[in-house]
């Protein structure tokens, strides 16, 4: 496993765990709760800890692309070693991996948020499927119209993608309300692209928007943290984030930053395809709003 492929075990497991049931979900939960401890367990001990069977452990290993538990455990140890070295080089410590506690000082809160957010961005970039990215870039670059859909915290990413695409001359609209988004989705058609953004991939308004757009003939793209989610399963193409949320991070800080990272990546790759046109469009749009800024004296420029 190369450095670029490290941490695929944990990021993949986090992505597919929400869609698991029964014994497989229990095994995944044990591994994710304490990966370092799980990496030291024998197959029998892991099965016992998850109230499952060795056969279920082997099945999970194969679902993750490994020949068996031994190979999975070796990869998990390699992932942990890589993460430890990377986090240490970035100033991380075991303390920063823990959730925010009510007794944490302001300095501890700041450090933990900074660490978690930067890690979400790094792991999301490591997780990008370049084949899917190329396909999405091609779709958006040639799209007649682009409609983005997202609610709650994901609405920020949907609006950001719409704004960026519009600034380089592409027709794009963003929707965060079902009563506006669903009718708009129904009017899309061949040559159009619908982009749905949802951390869990199960937000009904976003899933329905992509389904309606797809039925109308549009191509569909999903940005989500959860592989196998309804949104990802429905979409023609998908990119996955790698953000971990926790009770004290219910504002979806890390997931929002991870989504915005994918938006930036998509925008730049699309702009590359329209290099000259995008440059001219950016110049014109900057000029259009230049007079809306004040100088240091508070006067219009």
HEC-encoded secondary structure of 123-188? HHHHHCCHHHHHHHHHHHHCCCEEEEECCCCHHHHHHHHHHHHHHCCCCEEEECCHHHHHHHHHCC
Q: What integer pLDDT is reported at residue 31 of this predicted model? A: 93
195 beta partners: 148, 221
Residue 194, both tokens: 């619908």
Name the CATH superfamily, with its identifier, for domain 130-288: Glucose-6-phosphate isomerase like protein; domain 1 (3.40.50.10490)
Residue 45, both tokens: 């001990």
CA distance 162 to 150: 11
149 beta partners: 175, 196
Closest-CA residue to 62 (of 102, 108, 24): 24
Residue 160, both tokens: 């950001």
What angle separates helix 204-215 from helix 178-186, to the nearest 10 degrees?
A: 20
Q: What integer pLDDT is reported at residue 283 of this predicted model? A: 84
Q: What integer pLDDT is reported at residue 260 of this predicted model? A: 96
Q: What integer pLDDT is reported at residue 90 of this predicted model? A: 52
CATH 1.10.10.10 domain span(s) along the chain: 1-89
Q: What integer pLDDT is reported at residue 253 of this predicted model? A: 76
Decide if 55 contacts 63 (C-beta within 8 A).
no
CA distance 53 to 44: 7
Burial, 73: exposed, middle or buried (Cβ in 10 Å; 0-12, 13-18, 19+)?
Answer: buried
Tokens 């692209």 locate to 193
CATH of 1-89, one of 3.40.640.10, 1.20.140.10, 1.10.10.10, 1.10.12.10: 1.10.10.10
Q: Where are the beta strands (DSSP E) in the chain?
A: 145-149, 172-175, 192-198, 219-224, 237-240
End-to-end CA distance of the chain: 55
CA distance 144 to 146: 7
The size of the chain, in residues, is 301
* CA 139 from centre of chain: 19
CATH 3.40.50.10490 domain span(s) along the chain: 130-288
What is the side-by-side strand order in the sheet with 219-224?
A: 172-175, 145-149, 192-198, 219-224, 237-240
Q: What is the pLDDT of residues 278-290, one digit of tens each?
A: 788 888 888 888 7
Q: Residue 224 in 3-state DSSP?
A: strand
* pLDDT tens, residue order, the chain (301 aa): 333 344 478 888 888 888 899 999 999 999 988 888 999 999 999 999 999 999 999 999 999 989 999 999 988 988 888 776 655 555 555 555 566 778 888 988 888 888 888 888 988 998 899 999 999 999 999 999 999 999 999 999 999 999 999 999 999 999 999 999 999 999 999 999 999 999 999 999 999 999 999 999 999 999 999 888 999 999 999 999 988 765 555 445 788 899 999 999 999 999 998 877 878 888 888 888 877 777 777 777 6
Decide if 217 contacts 209 (C-beta within 8 A).
no
CA distance 107 to 176: 35
Q: What integer pLDDT is reported at residue 103 of this predicted model? A: 84
86 CB-side CA count, 13 A: 16
222 beta partners: 196, 238
């Amino acid at each position: 496993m190369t450095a670029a492929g490290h941490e695929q075990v944990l990021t993949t497991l986090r992505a597919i765990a929400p869609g698991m049931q029964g014994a497989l979900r229990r095994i995944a939960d044990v591994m994710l709760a304490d990966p370092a401890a799980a990496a030291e367990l024998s197959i029998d001990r892991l099965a016992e800890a998850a109230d499952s069977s060795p056969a279920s452990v082997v099945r999970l290993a194969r679902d993750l692309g490994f020949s068996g538990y031994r190979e999975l455990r070796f990869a998990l140890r390699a992932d942990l070693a890589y993460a430890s070295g990377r986090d240490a080089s970035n100033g991380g410590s075991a303390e920063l991996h823990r959730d925010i506690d009510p007794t944490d000082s302001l300095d501890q809160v700041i450090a933990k948020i900074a660490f978690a957010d930067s890690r979400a961005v790094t792991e999301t970039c490591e997780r990008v499927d370049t084949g899917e990215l190329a396909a999405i870039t091609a779709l958006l670059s040639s799209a007649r119209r682009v409609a983005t859909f997202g609610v709650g915290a994901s609405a920020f990413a949907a609006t950001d993608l719409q704004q960026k695409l519009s600034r380089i001359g592409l027709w794009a609209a963003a929707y965060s309300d079902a009563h506006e988004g669903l009718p708009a989705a129904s009017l899309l058609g061949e040559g159009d692209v619908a982009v749905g953004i949802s951390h869990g991939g199960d937000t009904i308004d976003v899933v329905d928007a992509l389904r309606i757009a797809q039925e109308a003939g549009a191509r569909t793209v999903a940005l989500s943290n959860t592989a196998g989610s309804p949104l990802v399963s429905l979409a023609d193409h998908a990119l996955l984030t790698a953000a971990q949320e926790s009770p004290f991070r219910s504002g979806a800080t890390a997931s929002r930053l991870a989504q915005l990272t994918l938006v930036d990546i998509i925008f730049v790759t699309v702009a590359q395809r329209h290099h000259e046109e995008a440059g001219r469009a950016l110049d014109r749009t900057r000029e259009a709003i230049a007079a809306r800024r004040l100088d240091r004296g508070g006067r219009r420029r």
